[in-house]
Structure 1
């Protein structure tokens, strides 16, 4: 059972990548950034990208033709709609950490008991004892992984992203100091900085070893967003910046609601 759990946890994002390929296989216009023809659009383009494009244009008309404010408003609406799923995922994650902390000493005892024993009989007994340990603590490692919220939000966020890229009206408008349809030198730094802060917020309450393990991975997202934004229309880093700020607030809320006292003590000790 432990090996199954490890395998699924390690390769769950491969499943999400397969899902991405399936969803995007019929949306050549969206992925190329070209305008979408409603008559020939594939399933994803028609029901996700075009829908969000129409929403962006509709909200912009209500806001006096401001596509910058429209992107901000629609981004917040989408994130608010997904927020219950994300908070539920956070809650499950904290519950899993609590149970794993309780199980860990007994798990290590089982592993020490069968250390160096590679025969089939010993491996079978170790899996049986591990399974019994999970049942004793009512712990389901597969159910606690929490891929469903990611699967649900993925097509929504991707559809919104491509709607911003392919809505021609956006490229014809300016917002604040930049043109939404042209690259900007400041917005990439803004978006990257926000996502770096968001990464640091996710580290609150983590054990020092976990922070070290995530140090490199945590820099990938801000760096990639910054690099892509330099060659992308400024509407995209605007979208990323607003989404990143919302994620920071959402993560702080989830930690306040669900972070166990033990993790809070780790945070306090780390700051001293």
Structure 2
């Protein structure tokens, strides 16, 4: 289940990246009030309003608008993230009992024994309140992140309702209207600052992946009755390759836009802090559950 959940998480992020890069509409279209469908009205416009509001407070700074809005959006999505992590800690707490059940039926492969094993496993899930629908929770974040992606790409476009409030596109010497551009490898126009931002995006994404795959102490402390089999090892290798591909993909997409790269840098740094905080909270939850004798 652990390997499946990790693979699902990586798959979700990869799917999100594909959607963002190819299926998110025309990024050159300005954001205009009263135009667009339900998605635009419910998510894109409110996020754009927040970005232009804070940008306007700081000399029409597009960068400040991106930074503050990213923090706000990620904080709003935090409960979804926390709900998904609740499943992880419940799985860690229940793991010893799950492994005892698996060990009990390890050599009994007849249908009747397998059915009994499933029934006992279901009893463990019920005891610890484990609901595997929690694996789908990250999908609820996708519309929010997709809307944020569109706002970063479109809010500053000429003719847009909020373009004037984010007209200052300079940030620490970086022009957010430019892009790194792969064409720079062949001597064509490309912004060197965009390449630096893209490298930072890749670096922070790699650090986030390493942190996300690192076992928390309570998970390390759970005993294992069965050695890791070949299939589990293969799954871990596949997950690692997918993570490398995800880092490269984010690097490539970041070269399309300096503003998008800045958004992902801020988002990745926020996610690293979010992960560290959530680990600390989960440690406390685990200790609390131990004190209630839920862990033997």
Q: Please report the TM-score for the alignment, with normalisation by the length of structure 1.
A: 0.74
Unmatched segments (≥5 aa) in structure 2: 158-162, 180-193, 221-227, 288-296
Q: Separation in 2 of the partners of 1:176 and 1:147?
A: 40
Instruction: Measure, in 2, the Cα distance between the counterparts of 1:137 and 1:69.
Output: 45
Query: Which is worse superposed, 189-198 or 213-222?
Result: 213-222
Q: 1:249 and 2:273 equivalent?
A: yes
Within the alignment, does 1:216 sit opposite 2:274 as a pair? no
Give the distance between the partners of 1:258 and 1:235, measured in 2 at CA: 34
1:24-43 CA distance string (max 9 Å, x none): 9xxx8x52112244444111
Distance 1:133-1:46 versus aligned 2 partners, 3 A rule: closer
Q: Deviations over 1:112-156 (max 9, x none)?
A: 201xx4xxxx2x652343123321563579714514532332211
Greater RCO (CA < 8 Å, at least 6 residues apart): 2
Decide whether the 8 Å contact of 2:61 with 2:167 is kept in 1. Answer: no
Q: Separation in 2 of the partners of 1:9 and 1:180? A: 36
Structure 1 residues 137, 235: closer, same or farther in 2, change over 3 A? closer
| Structure 1 partner of 2:186 | none
Structure-1 separation of matches of 2:69 and 2:32 = 23
Moved more, 173-182 or 212-221: 212-221
1:97 and 2:92 correspond: yes
2:166 maps to 1:166:
no
Give the deviation of 1:212 after TM superposition: 4.8
- 1:188 corresponds, among 191, 198, 201, to 198
Task: Work out whether 1:44 is the aligned partner of 2:68.
Answer: no
Pairwise CA distance, 1:61: 0.7
Counterpart among 115, 126, 142 of residue 127 in structure 1: 115
Structure-1 separation of matches of 2:53 and 2:259: 17
Asked if the contact 2:178–2:257 (Cα under 8 Å) also holds between the matched residues in 1, the reply is yes
| TM-superposition CA deviations, 1:240-267 (whole Å, max 9, x none) | 0101001111111111221458xxxxxx
User: How far off is 1:180 after superposition?
Assistant: 1.1
What is residue 176 of structure 1 aligned with on the other side? 172
Alignment of 1:98-117 (within 5 A): 98-114=93-109, 117=110
1:164·1:235 contact (CA, 8 Å) conserved in 2?
Answer: yes
Query: CA offset at residue 185 of structure 1?
Result: 1.7
Number of residue equivalences: 240
Aligned partner of 1:32 in structure 2 is: 26
Q: Does the 8 Å CA contact 2:67/2:263 hold for their aligned counterparts?
A: yes
Q: What secondary structure does 1:194 align onto? A: helix
Moved over 6 A (4+): 8-13
Structure 2 distance, partners of 1:16, 1:227, is 18
Provide the aligned C-alpha RMSD in A: 3.5
Q: Matches of residues 50-65 of structure 1 in structure 2 within 5 Å?
A: 50-65=45-60
Q: Which runs of 5+ in 1 are unaligned?
A: 262-272
- The 3-state SS of whatever aligns with 1:113 is coil
Q: CA deviation at 1:97?
A: 2.4
Secondary structure of the 1:185 match is helix
Greater shift in the superposed pair: 143-152 or 80-89: 143-152
1:82 alignment partner in structure 2? 77
TM-score after normalising by structure 2: 0.69
Q: 1:108–1:48: structure 2 CA closer, same or farther, 3 Å change rule?
A: same
